[in-house]
Every structure is written in structure tokens, then in C-alpha cells.
Structure 1
Amino acid sequence: MGNERNWAGNLSYRAAEVAHPASVDELRGRLAAGGPVRMLGTRHCFNDIADTDGALIALDRMPRIIEVNGQRDAVRVSGGLRYGDIAPVLHDQGLALANLASLPHISVAGAVATGTHGSGDGIGSLAAAVRALTVLTASGEVRRLQRGDADFAGAVVSLGALGAVLDITLDVEPTYAVAQHVYDGPGWDAVLADLDAVTGIGTSVSLFSTWRRTDAADLLWVKQRQPDGRADERAGLAAALGAAVADGKRHPILGVDAEACTEQGGVPGEWFQRLPHFKLEFTPSAGAELQSEYLVPRTDAVAAIEAVRSLAERIAPLLLVNEIRTVRADALWLSPAYRTDIVGLHFTWRPDEQAVRALLPELEAALPASARPHWGKIFTLDAAEVRARNPRWDDFAALRAAWDPERRFVNDYLARLGL
């Protein structure tokens, strides 16, 4: 396909075509044409999870659906829509999602299928908000599942292995405001002495570090729902960490202009204008970058951070920024948060894939054996290890075989993992 690449530009797709069906009938017709297929979202994966030597199918031209139910506690949306497309519409109706990822640019179906998460001690991943979903299988059958159905927990974080996700129903709640508070230089020793206190100081908390120094992180970001009755508590914790209130707006990557970032400085704003780190109208993060992420149970979080700290000299030359944040447990089979609250260690790397891939085995060996890689980002753990760290893997493999017996949606990525 020549110039068809992923968002970061590190992957050229091998597919012979990219189809953009505009209706369910067109989509069904393309599936009926036969051959290998994969679904393509907003291209924000850094590995070949969405690649194929057959046809890529994007749902970005399908009918736009944003339908709130009569109880006003759920919204049904087209799988190809981005969170940034949905959020303002919900807000205009007085509604909100409980969580958003750092980027509003990602599609709902793609984010859910890969277990992408957002942040907050008391908040589940984006996939945890899924109440129901409708999938068109390779055979042309429409299947709709909802919470409580036998296969639901396996079909949500699906790695794109089951079919085309036509629509997803998400939990919603009344709209709310959020303020972001940013602090410079929290000390690592103090942070790790009581990590729960740090991650619990706000609705959503992130620690950013370049690991050019090992005594202190670069930034502590606290997103707090309004009204905010925790100012004194937050100030006391910042003082205990040796952190100072930022004297201006900050980008997660030190030295980068913060214009693309959502408003900070404790200025309240609507939920969808504060929960993401980046504004929809800007290129997020660094643009030219690679990403890896490992998610560990909270019980292993301090050991995981200490492992990264011990490799700081090896990591720092390749790193743009490391973000650490938390996610509540869920019951979804292939979710990194399956049956355990987790802490995510997210690495935004400089765009040197050969060097990053050379470093990752050392990093993966140093992390606790409970660390699960993010499905859409770069990792080098072998297939047996990945399967062992996901206790419902065999159940998911059986589900995939039942839904796609001809293996139409299986690509090299899934085959490497044993699917």
C-alpha cells in the first residue's frame, strides 16, 4: 500500500487494500469477499496488531451513532468514533464518561479491544465502561452481547480477533468538572514510601519522569473532580514529597511546548477538557515516538518502579518520558486489570525502534513476573510468557475459535501469541 502507516510512522501496513465501508451491508459485502481481514482504528498502535497481508477495514465512514438511552445512564456509539467526537455531545446532554485516556484521538472500538485504560485508583479502564457491544463476524452474523452474557467478559478486550465492532454501549453519568494541579520534582523515596497516598490524592494521578535523575520524578499531575475539598491535603502531600507547585503550564515531556496540553493551574473545566493530557485539535505527545507499557498489580508496583529506577542509566538515553498511573480491577478476560488493581508503567521512547527493542528484554526481565504488556504497544516477551500472565487466555482462545473458525481475523500478531 506504499504510504499507509501507523500513527507513529514506525510501521508500514502490508495490506493490499484499506476498505472504508459506509454501511453494514457494505461491510458485510467486504467480509464476504473472503481472505484475511483486520480492523483498523485510529492507527495508534505501535506494533502489528492491526496489520494483515489481506484487507484492512476502517469503520470511520460508517453511520454516526451517539444514542443515549431512556434512563440516561448509557450511550450507544459507533465503534469507529473517537472519544473526542463523543465527549462534547454527551456533555451537551448533561452527561459524561467516568474516564478518558490521555489522548481523545483514539477510537472507541480500538481502545476497548486493546484494554487501553485512562487513570484513577477508583476508576476502571475504558473497556470496563462497556455495557454491551455488537459485532459482525466474518460469516456475516451480527452478535450482540451485554453484561451478564456468557461470552461478554471475553469479547470486550478482543484484540480484534472476533469480528468488526459495529457499536458499543458505554456507562455514563451526570457531567462534572475537573481541575488539574501540576507539581515539580516529587522525591522518589517519599513517593515510594507511601505510593497509595500519592496515587489516591486525586481522581486521577500521574507521575512523569525522564529518569535522568533517580532522586526525584519530574512532575506530579493531579486531576481532581470538582468541587474540590482536598486542597489542604494535596498541599500537605506535595510538601511531604518535596514537590513545588509548577510556575506555569507543563508538557509531560520536559522542554516541549505545552500548548497542546489541556488546561492546568487548578483552573476547573469540563471533564473532557481535563481528563485527557492533550487537546483533540493538536498532535498529541511528541508525534515521532514509540511506546511500551507494562501493567503490574498494585502489590508489585513499588518493586516495579524500583526496577525501572535501577535501570535509569540504560533507559534515560532512549526515553522521552515514563508515566506511572493506576487503574481499578475489572473482570474482562484479557484486560491488564483482570481481577487486580493495577499500576501502569508507560514508556514513550525516542523513535529508535532497534535500540528500544534491544533494551526491552532487559527491562522486562527486571520487572516483576506479574507485569502484563499493553496489547497495542511494543514488547518482546515471548508468547508462552504472555499467555501465562493472562489466566483466561485458554478461554479466550476457545472463544476466538468459535467466533472465527476460518481464522479470517487472525494475523501474524495473533498467530505469534498462539491464536
Structure 2
Amino acid sequence: MTFTNWAGNTTFHAKAVHHPASLAELQRLVAASANIRALGSGHSFNDVADTTGDLVVLDRLPDLVEIDTAAATALVGAHMTYARLAPLLHRAGFALANLASLPHISVAGSVATGTHGSGVNVPCLAAAVSGIDLVTADGSPLSLSRGDADFPGAVVSLGALGIVTSLTLDLVPAFELRQYVREGLSPGTALADLDAIMSSGYSVSLFTDYRDTRVWLKREDELTDPDWYGTTPADGPRHPIPGMPTGSCTAQLGVPGPWHERLPHFRADSPPSGAGDELQSELLLPREHAAKAMRELFAIGERIRPVLLISEVRSVAADDLWLSPFHGRDSVGIHFTWKKDVAAVMPVLELVEETLAPFGPRPHWGKLFTRRPRCPDAFRSLVRRLDPAGKFSGGFVRLLLGE
């Protein structure tokens, strides 16, 4: 049977796919395998999870969500999705500080690849992790907590250290948000006031084709300025990709609702319109270079648009995780949703990477990129210490490590 990722652009090469039903079965499988990788929800657009050995999916392990109300943390099974987790947290009076645009993705896969939402004061999803449990190369368990020397290298790790089985997540009190869509943001205003616009809500996204720009504004308080940055309010629900059906999108028009029903762009009970019929890439830049970088992209908009569905701009706060794209710097992510045409997209992606190269871009680990990314020496040393035989290193990880 052909086994592919969500988008269908990557076919896995594993000799076998395993679904262990217990931790003990997973430990025996890892100990006996010469090469093994874990697959989350399959939402990456590259071969980060691929292997020619064994592929393991943890969807048959018992569900795990243990909320510690005193510590404001939750112990969560690796294969749990945010769509399933968030309502449980909300009913207990808690929330996560942020969510990605899709709630359908698995917690462990999102954390391992540095997936993020948007918000100038909110770091990526991995920054909420305060503890991580994994099965190491000989099948033995390993638990690491924030403050341990190896912890900053073990959270965003691309599965290179072992099979993650559970994570402990920091929680915040549950909250409500309102979501607005504002249309007609001029390029001049977007570039001149980018910092102020991105700071105008709890979570803010710009959607642009480098000609027309909309703003997705998620706020705790009501937006009362009728001429906000020269824009007009959308007169009905909008999809991030203009013209697409809006039934899968979260509620807009300023209607207040729970955090987990407003932070994502798409509803948990409905797949995104056109799900999978696309390619994605994203480059993360230091926030202070964002306006200059956007100006360069507007200048090559005519080259980008023929293969572009939409581009999204988001803010992400810095963290201290070694392999995180946001390590040590507040960032802006420039995301591209491309038409599903690899041959046409890749030359344009190379042009985008070349255009943004002077600004020090880092790629999103789960999306398409062509330039070899940075690998901190500390992470390389950690992989060699915990997995000297390369049991968890597929081709993607070996390339990252310089092997």
C-alpha cells in the first residue's frame, strides 16, 4: 500500500509501518529495529519523518491527558491532536498560549518541527513544553524536564533522539477572543506600520498575494476603529485563500468565542477547504528585518503570483530551544501556500530564498526548502551521544547533521 503525507507530495519509503498498542510493545520495537522513525499526523510537506527502516505511528497507544490544576500543566500523549486536546483543557478552565492555524496536527509532531501560531508576545508551540518522555535507542525510557542540560536540545529535535511518547505542557487560564478580517491594507501602510499592525491583537496574520492584502486580527477586546489602518471590515466570512468556501473557517465578524475556536484559522470539526491540494514553505526572519524583507517580496510579486495560492505573515516570540527556528530572536514568519505543482514551484521557491538570504532566514522544519539549514554543534553532539548508531536518523536528519 502506498503511504503518503497529508498533501500527497511525499511517499514514505519505510519497509514496515507499526502501530504499537502499549509502551512495552513500542520499547521492544525500538530495541529490535536498526532504523526507526515516528510519524505524527503526516502534515509535513517534506521527508522529515521518512525512513527506509521502520515507521511507527502511536495512534493505538492509550489516550493520555492528565491535567495538574495546581501546577497548571497537562501531561499529554504524543499522538494527541490539538483538536482533541483543546476542548478538554478549556472545560477544565485552562488554555494553551497559542495554536497553529490547523488544530488537526499532533502535539509531538508540531513540537518536534517548531510549528507555531502568531503573536508578538507568544513563542512557538514547543516553548510550552516543560517535560518530555521518549524511548531511546536501546528501548529504555528517558524523561527530561526544563532545567536539565539536554532539555533545550530535546524538544525541537525532528525525532532524532528517540520516539517521543508524552509531553508536559504549560497551561494558562482559559480566555476568549474575537476574530476580525480587515481588507484593503495598502502595501505602503503594511510596510510602514508593520510592527504596529502585528502588535494590534493577541494573534495577527497578514494574508497577501503581494498585491492585495488582508489582516486576520484576533483580539481579546472589541475593535472599534472603523478606519483601522485604512482598511474596511469584511462583510462576511472569509477563507485565507480568496474565493475558497468558508465553511471550514473559524468564526469571524468579531463574535467572541473560546480561545481554541478562534486562534486557529480552521475549525477542528471540519477539514480545511482543499485540504492537501497544495504545497507549503515558510522562512523565519529576525523581526527587525521583516518590513525590508516584505518590500523585496512585493518587488518580485509578478514572479511569485503564478504559482502562489496565498502568503501569510506571522509574528513569533524568541525561545531558547537549540533547533527552534526562533532560537534567540523574535521573528516574523513568511509562509507560502503554493499550487500543487512541484516543477513550477521549486524555481520560484529558490528565487524567494535567494531574495530573503540577506536577512538570515531559517526554514520551518516541516515545509519545503532548498538551502541547507543551520545545525548547532550542541544539537549535533547530543544526537551522537544519545543515538551513536543513527537509529533515528533518516535522510533528512543525516543531511542536517552533515553526514
Shorter chain as denominator, the TM-score bin is over 0.9
Aligned to 2:287: 298
3-state SS, counterpart of residue 102 of structure 2: coil
Answering whether residue 248 of structure 2 is matched by residue 256 of structure 1, we say: no
Aligned to 1:371: 361
Cα gap change, 1:235 to 1:74, in 2 (>3 Å)? farther
The CA deviation at 1:235 is 4.0
3-state SS, counterpart of residue 159 of structure 1: coil
The CA deviation at 1:192 is 1.0
Aligned to 2:23: 24
Amino acid across the alignment from 1:251: H
The CA deviation at 1:72 is 4.5
Alpha-carbon separation, structure 2, partners of 1:11 and 1:163: 22
Aligned to 2:218: 223
Q: 2:299 aligns with which of 310, 313, 329?
A: 310
Q: CA deviation digits over 1:170-214, x for unaligned, max 9?
A: 010111111101111111111211211100110000000123x2x
Aligned to 1:7: 6
3-state SS, counterpart of residue 60 of structure 1: coil
Alpha-carbon separation, structure 1, partners of 2:285 and 2:349: 16
Are the equivalent residues in 1 in contact too, given 2:180–2:253 (CA < 8 A)?
Answer: yes
3-state SS, counterpart of residue 148 of structure 1: coil
The CA deviation at 1:70 is 4.4
Amino acid across the alignment from 1:231: L
Are the equivalent residues in 1 in contact too, given 2:286–2:359 (CA < 8 A)?
Answer: no
The CA deviation at 1:231 is 2.5
The CA deviation at 1:369 is 3.9
Q: 1:247 aligns with which of 235, 257, 262?
A: 235
Alpha-carbon separation, structure 2, partners of 1:304 and 1:209: 14
Alpha-carbon separation, structure 2, partners of 1:121 and 1:285: 28
Aligned to 1:278: 266
3-state SS, counterpart of residue 259 of structure 1: coil
Aligned to 2:159: 160
Q: 2:318 aligns with which of 316, 320, 329?
A: 329
Q: CA deviation digits over 1:239-279, x for unaligned, max 9?
A: xx321100000000000011000000000011111100001
Aligned to 2:384: 401
| Alignment gaps of 5+ in structure 2 | none
Q: CA deviation digits over 1:257-312, x for unaligned, max 9?
A: 11000000000011111100001222225320000000001111112111211111
The CA deviation at 1:143 is 1.0
Alpha-carbon separation, structure 2, partners of 1:310 and 1:202: 28
Matching of residues 131-210 of structure 1 within 5 Å: 131-210=130-209
Amino acid across the alignment from 1:5: T
Answering whether residue 216 of structure 2 is matched by residue 266 of structure 1, we say: no
Alpha-carbon separation, structure 1, partners of 2:118 and 2:59: 26
Alpha-carbon separation, structure 2, partners of 1:285 and 1:131: 34
Aligned to 1:39: 38
Amino acid across the alignment from 1:371: P
Alpha-carbon separation, structure 2, partners of 1:245 and 1:130: 37
3-state SS, counterpart of residue 152 of structure 2: helix
Q: CA deviation digits over 1:145-192, x for unaligned, max 9?
A: 111110111110001100011110001011111110111111111121
Alpha-carbon separation, structure 2, partners of 1:398 and 1:273: 41
3-state SS, counterpart of residue 162 of structure 1: coil
The CA deviation at 1:3 is 2.1
Aligned to 1:110: 109
3-state SS, counterpart of residue 67 of structure 1: strand
Alpha-carbon separation, structure 1, partners of 2:345 and 2:56: 30
Q: CA deviation digits over 1:58-99, x for unaligned, max 9?
A: 111111110111414110100110011100111111111110
Q: Deviation above 3 Å: which 4+ runs of structure 1?
A: none
Answering whether residue 397 of structure 2 is matched by residue 414 of structure 1, we say: yes
Are the equivalent residues in 1 in contact too, given 2:289–2:359 (CA < 8 A)?
Answer: no
